[in-house]
Structure 1
Amino acid sequence: MDDSSNSSDSSISSNSILSPCSSTSASELMRKRGRSSSSDDSYTFGVKCGRFAEDHVSEWDICKLESFGIFYDEKATELSELYESALKDLYLVLGIKDHATLWSKLLEIKEFLVESTKSCMHSLDVDEEFSEIDSMSRFVVVKETEKCLQAIAKIKEEMATKGSALSMDYLSWHIYGIWHTGILEYIEYYSDLVKELRSHGRCGMVGEFSQLLMFFSKIFLLNAMRGNALPKMQMMLDGVATTSVPDLRYRLQGECHSGFKSNSSLLTVTVGEVKRWSLSHEVKTTADFNIRNLKFTGQSVESLLGQHGGEVLVEWKKSALQDTNLGIICVKNTIIFTCLKLDREHLSNLAHGHSVENERSVIRYSKPYNFLVRKDREEIMNTMFHLGLLCRLGSLHWLLD
C-alpha cells in the first residue's frame, strides 16, 4: 500500500478530517460515483430509464465513500466515549426508564458474567504481540480448551450448590444459560479452527473468521446473524440503487419502546479478506492510532474501509438508532468498533442527488482489539455485555420475578 495515501495538504473543516482524496477534483469524484458531471444528461436519462445496474458497497473504496461526504476520523476515540452518546440514545429507544428494575437486575448479572468470563478464558490467552490465529499450535490449544471447560464446570457447580444471589431466580439462570451455551460454542469452534488450520498448513478464510467472531459475540449475549440470512439492504444514493450485505448483523430481540424500528439492528460487521498482517503493540495502543495506517496483504485498506463505510451507511435504514449506526471491522481475530452519525440533510441530499460538497459525516472508531489477548478482551467486555443485554432487553420482561 502506498503510504502517500495517508496524507493530505489541507484541512477540510474545523474538525480537521484528513482525506487522501481531498485534493481530487470535483469532476474526478463525480466519475468515481458513476458520472462525469452533475449536468450529464445521459446519466440522468439512464437512471430514469433504469438502464444502470445497482451499485454494491463491496466494490467501494475509500475515495468513493468520501465522494459521498463520509470520512473516517483522523485518530481513534476511546471505546467508552465512542459509544457513550449512542448508548444514551438506546436507553430512550428501548425504554430503559420503563424497565428500571429489570435493567438494574441485568447490570447486576453482567458483573457476575464479566468475572466468570475472565476466569473461564484465562487459559486461552496469548501473548500481547500475537497477531494471527493461523500460527497457533494445535497441541497447545487442546490443553488450553480443556482448562477452560474445567473452569466453566466449576462456575456452574458453584452456582448450583453455594446459593449465590444469581442462583435464586429464573432471570439469572436464563441469562447464565445463554452465556454458558455461548462460551461452550466459542471454545469448540476456536479449538477446531486452530487444529484445522495447523493440520492443513493454511491461512484462515474470511468465512471462518466471521464464524469465530459470531461465536465470540455469543458469549456476550449478542444476537448475531449472517448478513446473507436476510434480504440485502438497499438505499437510493444519488439516483442509484445501492445495496449492502454485511458479513454479520447484531439484531434486537423482542418488543421494546414504541419508537424503535421493527427488525432493528444494533451493529453492522465487515470482515476483511486479509491473508497476512501484523500490528505491533505500540501501534495499536497509541492515542494517535489512525485506521488508514493499517497494513496487510490480500485486501487493500482503502477497499476495506470503503466497503465498511458503505455498509454502515446503507444499513443505517435498519439501525435501532435514529441518526447513528454502530459497526465493527474484523481483521482475523482483531476488531475495531466504529460509529457513523448522519446528518439528516446530508442523507436527504445523497438520496436526491443534490450536491454534498459541503457535507461532512464522520465515522469514528476505536483502536484495534485482539480478542485472543487478555488485556484487549477485558477492555471490551463491559461494552460487549452492555450491548448484548440491550439486544435482549425486549425479550426479558416476563422473566423478572
Structure 2
Amino acid sequence: MASPDDDPFQPPRFNRKRPTTSFCRGSSSSDTTGNYGARPKRSHLHADLNTISKWTTKTLDEFGIAYYNDPITIEEFTIKIQSRAHEVCDKKVPDFVSTLKTLCKRGLVFSLDLPEKETLKSLDKLSDSTTRLREILNNFDTFINDVLKKEDEYLGKEWRNKALFFAWSHNVRSFLNYYKKFLDIMNSSMTESWLAKPVREAHLQELFMVFSKIFFLEPEMGDKEVKRLIIGAHVVSCIPDIRFTCLNPLQRSVLLMLTEVKKVEPFPENRSFEPRKTRASSESSSESDQTSGNYIHRILSINVLGQHGGELLSELRSSAFAPTMVVGCICMGTEIIFTYMEMMQTHLNKIVYDGKCDGETSLIRYTKPLNYLIEEDRNKCLDLLFLLGFIQTSGYEDLYPNSEGGK
C-alpha cells in the first residue's frame, strides 16, 4: 500500500498547535451514597468519607489498593486487553478493521482546539474555530467520496464491510458536529458555562461518548444503574459517569469499561501537563521515588485517584474480565488515561467480608494521558479503541446481527 504522502485520497493536513491542558484537583461529580468499614487504628481517616466520591488514595491504602509507580505504554495496555478478549468475545477480529484504522489515519488528519478560559471572550476566536471546522468537515466528505470511487478496493464485496464503513463515516461526522455545538456552548457565556462545573462536565461527558462511537463503542450514562459494594457491615453505592456494557451473553450484562470525566482546572504553578511532567522528571529523584510520589500522583489529585479506584473496586464483580480484572478510563478535559485493576479473589473477599485487606495488595495500572482531539495522540489509541468496540458488540453482531460474515 502506498504511503500516506503518496495517497491521492488524503485530504490536506491541519497542523494545529497542541492545546494547553491541565488536570483537576476537584472532587467527583458522581452521585453516590453509603459508608464503608475501617480499621480501628485508622478510624480518623474515615470521619468524612461516607461515599466513594469522597475517597482518596488514603482510603485505597486502607484496602490494599495502590496505583503503580510508572505508566505502561498504550501498546502494552492493548496487549493486556487482547490477552483477555477471548473471555468475552470468541469472534475473530475481521481484516476490515485494519482498513478502518487506515481510513482513520488518512481521513481524520486534523487536531481540534479546546477553548481556553482566557480566550472565551473573543468572538474572532470562535469564528476562526467554526470556519476551520467547516473546512475539516468538507475535506472529510471529499475523502469519503474519493474512497467510494474505489469502493471495491477499499471495502471489498462483503456487505458488513460497507455497513461498518457507512456507520463509521456517520459517527465521525456526528462527533465533529457535536464538537461545534460544544464550542458554541463553551463560548456562549464564560460565567454560566466555563465556570459552572456540572454544565461543563456534562458536555465533556457527551463529547467523549460521541467520540467513542467512532469505534463502535456503545456508551451509556453511569446513573442508569447503581452498583453496590458490601464492605464489612456497610454498603457503598457507586455511579461512574459513563459505562460501556456488553450485552452478550444476554442473560447478564457485563461491564467492559467504566469512565470518570472531570473538567480541567489549572494547577497553580503551571497550566499545562507537559511542563509539569518535564519539571518532575528533571528533579534529582527518580520517577518511582516514593518520597516525591509516583507518576500519576503528580498529574491527578488524590481525590480523583481515590474515587476512580473505588469505582474500579465496586465494579470488579460485574466486569467482563471478572473475577480478577476490571477496566476503566479517566478523562481529564479531553485527555484520556486508560486504567485497569487486577485483584485476587482472596483480596476482594477480605475487603467484602472483613472490611480490611490484612496485607493483601492490588495494583492499578494506567497509561500516560492522550488527548483525543490531537491527531498524533488519537492515532495511538486506534488499536485499543477498535478492539474495545469489537469486544463490546460481540464482533459487531450486536450492531449488525443479520449481516453476512458475522462470525
Tell me the TM-score range normalised by the shorter chain. Answer: 0.7 to 0.9
Structure 1: which amino acid aligns with 2:261? V
Partner residue, 2:72:
77
Which one of the candidate residues 254, 259, 272 is aligned to 1:269? Answer: 259
8 Å CA contact 1:124–1:141 kept in 2: the answer is: no
Partner residue, 1:399:
403
Partner residue, 1:145:
133
Aligned-pair distance for 1:111?
Answer: 2.3
Unaligned segments of structure 1, at least 5 residues: 1-24, 36-53, 296-300
In structure 2, distance between residues paired with 1:133 and 1:221: 32
SS in 1 for 2:328: strand
In structure 2, distance between residues paired with 1:131 and 1:302: 26
**Do structure 1's residue 240 and structure 2's residue 244 form an aligned pair?**
no
Partner residue, 2:218:
223
Query: Where does 1:258-337 land on structure 2 (aligned, <5 Å)?
Result: 262-277=252-267, 278-281=271-274, 283=276, 288=287, 290-294=295-299, 301-322=301-322, 323-337=324-338
Given the superposition, is the C-alpha separation of residues 157 and 365 from structure 1 closer, same or farther in structure 2, using an over 3 Å criterion?
same
Aligned-pair distance for 1:26?
Answer: 6.0
Aligned-pair distance for 1:135?
Answer: 4.7
SS in 1 for 2:215: coil
Partner residue, 2:86:
91
8 Å CA contact 2:256–2:327 kept in 1: the answer is: yes
8 Å CA contact 2:99–2:154 kept in 1: the answer is: no
SS in 2 for 1:399: coil
In structure 1, distance between residues paired with 2:202 and 2:312: 20
Structure 2: which amino acid aligns with 1:381? L
Query: Where does 1:351-390 land on structure 2 (aligned, <5 Å)?
Result: 351-353=352-354, 355-390=356-391
Partner residue, 1:29:
42
8 Å CA contact 2:273–2:299 kept in 1: the answer is: no
Which one of the candidate residues 140, 161, 182 is aligned to 2:171? Answer: 182
Unaligned segments of structure 2, at least 5 residues: 1-37, 288-293
In structure 2, distance between residues paired with 1:171 and 1:148: 27
**Do structure 1's residue 171 and structure 2's residue 160 form an aligned pair?**
yes
SS in 2 for 1:352: helix
SS in 2 for 1:275: coil
Task: Please report the TM-score for the alignment, with normalisation by the length of structure 2.
Answer: 0.75
8 Å CA contact 1:83–1:339 kept in 2: the answer is: no
Identity of aligned residues (%): 21
The C-alpha deviation readout for 1:16-43, integer Å capped at 9, x for no partner, is xxxxxxxxx96453443569xxxxxxxx
Aligned-pair distance for 1:326?
Answer: 0.6
Q: After superposing the two structures, state which structure 1 stretch, 357-366 or 78-87, moved more.
A: 78-87
Q: Which has the higher contact order (CA 8 A, sep 6+)?
A: 2
8 Å CA contact 2:228–2:237 kept in 1: the answer is: yes
Structure 2: which amino acid aligns with 1:194? L
In structure 1, distance between residues paired with 2:76 and 2:366: 10
Given the superposition, is the C-alpha separation of residues 167 and 149 from structure 1 closer, same or farther in structure 2, using an over 3 Å criterion?
farther
In structure 1, distance between residues paired with 2:351 and 2:119: 44
Aligned-pair distance for 1:360?
Answer: 0.5
The C-alpha deviation readout for 1:272-298, integer Å capped at 9, x for no partner, is 244335333355587947111026xxx
**Do structure 1's residue 61 and structure 2's residue 56 form an aligned pair?**
yes
In structure 2, distance between residues paired with 1:376 and 1:67: 35
The C-alpha deviation readout for 1:71-120, integer Å capped at 9, x for no partner, is 1111211122134233211223311xxx33xx2x2xx2222222322333
In structure 1, distance between residues paired with 2:343 and 2:119: 40
The C-alpha deviation readout for 1:224-249, integer Å capped at 9, x for no partner, is 11101x22001101221111100001
What is the count of residue pairs matched by the alignment?
338
Partner residue, 1:16:
none
Given the superposition, is the C-alpha separation of residues 214 and 268 from structure 1 closer, same or farther in structure 2, using an over 3 Å criterion?
same
The C-alpha deviation readout for 1:322-346, integer Å capped at 9, x for no partner, is 2111111111111111110111000
In structure 1, distance between residues paired with 2:111 and 2:117: 12
8 Å CA contact 2:233–2:355 kept in 1: the answer is: no
